């Protein structure tokens, strides 16, 4: 049975990082008032600086999957958080994305914040970037609360079946779909495609657009003829199923450029060219290996060599899905 995505406890980079954090704590490098202890990071940070990519992104490019973390002093994590990220703030996000040439962004509520969207909402209201958001609501969220989220810029709800801190379940999907349908929102699923296949009829019957995260967490090593990939392609043939080209480290072990992902992207773009979006997954909190964000942009030259299709995926399709003006 595949372990949750955020349970990668044995990677060498993670072991080294945890040792360095422990040493820093013992040395007293990080301190906080005794009544409000700062929790030590358990995952490494994204690379603070990145280069300008070789691939020039078209104007209006949208990174459709990223997260904001911290400052932890203002936005604490839930008690049973599966991981504790270092601060990766709005200013860090803006600096990296301006270097990459990204103009629009979609923030996704991280599982370690539960249903507390304070950090995301502060970023979205800051005016520092052109944002939309994907929420992780409480199961009993009301239509009024959904409308309030909409006014802030949220356009979807994420159901997480792949992490330890799962939040919403598939059983919540039907009710949520009815609430969000009048506003044109979508349901986003972070799940191994096998989990979706187990409830495929009910999944496809949901009356809203359905967005699959991170390639459906398939295994690139299993090849193009694997049952999981065939299932993903079958799902993508349906007119309300979309996918994010994001997180190659969730499906490939071939760091740092994941060349084995390219043939999968070619099959996917041939199947659903009008229902694909792209994302960096910055700051990569559950990555099996840490990428350079400029490399993620440069992968697009091989993934989507046709510039017209690339613009469609980077600019036009996100504008439709997330209702950018």
Percent pLDDT > 70 in the chain is 89
The fourth-level CATH superfamily of domain 5-321 is Metal-dependent hydrolases (3.20.20.140)
At 222-247, the pLDDT tens digits run 999 999 999 999 999 999 999 999 99
The pTM score is 0.89
Residues carrying an active site annotation:
281
How much is the average pLDDT of 120-135?
98
* Mean pLDDT, the chain, integer: 90
- Min mean pLDDT across 26-40, 157-171, 231-245, 294-308 is at 26-40
At 269-311, the pLDDT tens digits run 999 999 999 999 999 999 999 999 999 999 999 999 999 999 9
Q: How far apart are CA 281 and CA 288, in angstroms?
A: 12
pLDDT of residue 296: 98
At 46-105, the pLDDT tens digits run 998 899 999 999 999 999 999 999 999 999 999 999 999 999 999 999 999 999 999 999
Give the full edge-to-edge strand order of the sheet including 154-160.
Answer: 62-66, 104-108, 130-135, 154-160, 186-190, 209-212, 241-245, 276-278
Q: How far apart are CA 46 and CA 89, in angstroms?
A: 11
Burial (CB count within 10 angstroms: exposed 0-12, middle 13-18, buried 19+), residue 212: buried
Angle, to 10 degrees, between the axis of helix 262-271 and the axis of helix 227-236?
A: 30
Q: Are 187 and 172 in contact (CB under 8 A)?
A: no
pLDDT of residue 36: 54
3-state helix, strand, coil in the chain (%, to 5): 40, 15, 45
Residue 269 CA: distances (Å) to CA of 11, 253, 266: 31, 22, 5
Q: Are 27 and 33 in contact (CB under 8 A)?
A: no
3-state secondary structure 258-320: CHHHHHHHHHHHHHCCCCEEECCCECCCCCCCCCCHHHHHHCHHHHCCCHHHHHHHHHHHHHH
Percent pLDDT > 90 in the chain is 85
Q: Taking the domains of the chain in order of start, what are their residue ranges?
A: 5-321
Q: How far apart are CA 86 and CA 284, in angstroms?
A: 11
How much is the average pLDDT of 108-134?
97
pLDDT bin (cut points 50, 70, 90) of residue 165 is: confident
């Amino acid at each position: 049975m595949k372990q949750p995505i955020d349970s990668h406890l044995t990677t060498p980079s993670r072991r080294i990082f945890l040792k360095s954090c422990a040493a820093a704590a013992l040395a007293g490098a990080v301190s906080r008032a005794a009544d409000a202890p700062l929790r030590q990071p358990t995952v490494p940070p994204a690379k603070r600086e990145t280069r300008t990519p070789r691939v020039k992104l078209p104007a209006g490019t949208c990174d459709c999957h990223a997260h904001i973390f911290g400052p932890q002093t203002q936005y604490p994590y839930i008690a049973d958080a599966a991981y504790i990220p270092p601060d990766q703030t709005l200013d860090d996000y803006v600096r990296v994305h301006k270097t990459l040439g990204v103009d629009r962004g979609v923030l996704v509520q991280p599982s370690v914040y539960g249903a507390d969207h304070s950090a995301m909402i502060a970023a979205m209201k800051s005016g520092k970037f052109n944002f939309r958001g994907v929420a992780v609501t409480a199961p009993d969220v009301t239509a009024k609360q959904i409308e309030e989220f909409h006014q802030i810029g949220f356009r979807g709800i994420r159901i997480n079946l792949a992490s330890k801190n799962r939040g919403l379940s598939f059983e919540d999907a039907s009710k949520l779909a009815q609430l969000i349908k009048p506003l044109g929102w979508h349901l986003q699923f972070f799940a191994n495609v096998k989990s979706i296949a187990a409830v495929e009829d009910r999944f496809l019957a949901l009356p809203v657009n359905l967005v699959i995260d991170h390639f459906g967490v398939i295994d690139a090593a299993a090849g193009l003829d694997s049952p999981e990939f065939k299932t993903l392609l079958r799902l993508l043939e349906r007119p309300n199923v979309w996918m994010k080209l994001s997180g190659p480290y969730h499906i490939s072990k071939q760091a740092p450029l994941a060349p084995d992902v390219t043939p999968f992207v070619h099959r996917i773009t041939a199947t659903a060219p009008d229902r694909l979006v792209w994302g960096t997954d910055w700051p990569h909190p559950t990555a099996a290996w840490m990428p350079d964000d400029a490399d993620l942009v440069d992968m697009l030259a091989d993934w989507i060599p046709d510039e017209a299709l690339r613009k469609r995926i980077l600019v036009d399709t996100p504008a439709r899905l997330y209702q950018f003006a």
